[in-house]
Structure 1
C-alpha cells in the first residue's frame, strides 16, 4: 500500500547487488576448488550448490536490469486509500 511518503527517486540497488553476487561467485568458485583439492568433498559440494544459487540470482538481476525502470507515480499522485474494513 502506498502511503505517500516514498522517496520520489527511489530505485533498487540492482547494480550493487550484481557486483556483490559476482564477489560471492568468485569466493564460491575458490571454495569449491580449494575444498576439492584438500579432500573435503562435502564442503566442495556445499560451495558448488552456493555457486549455482549465485548464478540463478545473477540471471534474475540481469533480467531486471534489462527490463529497465518502471512507472513510478510522482508526488502529485495522492496516496491510495486504505481498504475498507468490513465489520460483521
Structure 2
C-alpha cells in the first residue's frame, strides 16, 4: 500500500548486487574446487551451498535488471488512503 512517505528517488542498487553476486559465485566455485581437491568434503559442501545461493541471487538480479524500470506514480499522484479495516475502502 502506498502511503506517500516513500522517497521520491528511491533506487535499488541492482548493479552493485549483481557484481557482488558474481564475486560470490566465483569465490564459491574456487573454494569448492580447492576443498574438493584437498579432500575436505565438509568445506567443499559448504562452498557448494554458498555457490547455489549466490547463483540464485545472480539469476534473480539479472532478471530484475532485464525487466527495466517500472512505472512509479509521480508527485502529482496523491497517496492512497490508508486501509482503516472497517470496510471503507
Structure 1 unmatched ranges of 5 or more: none
Runs (4 or more) in structure 1 with deviation over 3 Å come to none
Alpha-carbon shift at residue 19 of structure 1 (Å): 0.6
Map 1:1-88 onto structure 2 (within 5 A): 1-86=1-86
Aligned residues: 87
For the aligned residue pairs, the C-alpha RMSD in angstroms reads: 1.6
User: 2-side partners of 1:56 and 1:2: how far apart?
Assistant: 29
User: 2-side partners of 1:56 and 1:85: how far apart?
Assistant: 38
Structure 2 unmatched ranges of 5 or more: none
User: 1-side partners of 2:72 and 2:12: how far apart?
Assistant: 12
Give the alignment's TM-score, normalised by structure 1. 0.86
Alpha-carbon shift at residue 43 of structure 1 (Å): 1.2
| SS at structure 1 position matched to 2:23 | helix
